[in-house]
Amino acid sequence: MSDTLDQPLTEQVPKRERRKESRPGELLDAALALFVEKGFSATRVEEVAARAGVSKGTLFLYFQSKEDLFKAVVRENIANQFPGWNEEFHTFEGTSADMLRYALVSWWERIGKTRVSGITKLVISEAQNFPEIARFYEEEVIKPGNALIRGILERGVNSGEFRTIDTEQAVHAVVAPMIFLMMWKHSMGACAASAQIMNPEQFIHMQVDLLLFGMTQHHHP
């Protein structure tokens, strides 16, 4: 308890603090929170800076523009994960059916459930007004993401586990419910009462069941 008496003097916040190393991370954190909460254009850079405990100017020391800040948030939270995820799936042992289910469940656990899914919602909501962001997101997230899913499907087809299907189209069938889920969570799900009755995990498993049922080779005796 004497600690709390000692600290007031030590804790006097210095006006200027030099912490180059940690600044970008703090800013990225603040930016993620605000972008997810308010959307891209409704988020003011000054607010991001304030939340990170720095001045407006400092933010522009680390990021060239608001758009650049956003891209960094996307890279930090999503794009940079792909190498790890790809690795994970290259070393996956088990049926492709399990793999597909694992992929969607992980997706929900690692992204969908977290605030990061707000980024997806934001991009889809504001893509019209910020074409460069749409382009960037497509390149850095959608393409690698689709490729990952396509890889799973092709694995199943090649092993004879799945029927020969148009994997390009099937990717959309896999991705659509996930994106729907993330959008929903950050729009109607956050407001409307009845919308919350949908259980994401249950929904995902049902989707996987449907997909597998459709894609699996059915051997009639």
- For a copy of itself, the binding residues (CB under 8 A) are 37-39, 41-42, 123-129, 131, 134-135, 137-138, 142-143, 168-170, 172-173, 176-177, 179-181, 183-184, 186-188, 190-195, 197-199, 202-203, 206-207, 209-211, 213-214, 220
- The residue among 26 and 121 lying less far from a copy of itself, judged by its C-beta, is 121
Q: Applying CB under 7 A, which of residues 29, 39, 51, 55 lies at the interface with DNA?
A: 55
CB of 104 to a copy of itself, least distance (A): 13
- The site string for DNA over 11-40 (x = CB under 7 A, - otherwise) reads ---xxxxxxx--x-----------------
The total of other beta-carbon atoms located within 10 Å of residue 48's CB is 26
Q: Is 65 in the site for DNA (CB under 7 A)?
A: yes
Contacted entry of DNA, a copy of itself, none for residue 19, CB cut-off 5 to 8 Å set by kind = DNA
Beta pairing partners, 216: 162
Q: Is 46 in the site for DNA (CB under 7 A)?
A: yes
Contacted entry of a copy of itself, DNA, none for residue 109, CB cut-off 5 to 8 Å set by kind = none
Amino acid type, 43:
T
Q: Applying CB under 7 A, which of residues 29, 33, 39, 58 lies at the interface with DNA?
A: 58
Contacted entry of DNA, a copy of itself, none for residue 163, CB cut-off 5 to 8 Å set by kind = none
Residues in the site for DNA, rule: CB under 7 A? 14-20, 23, 41-46, 54-58, 60-61, 64-67
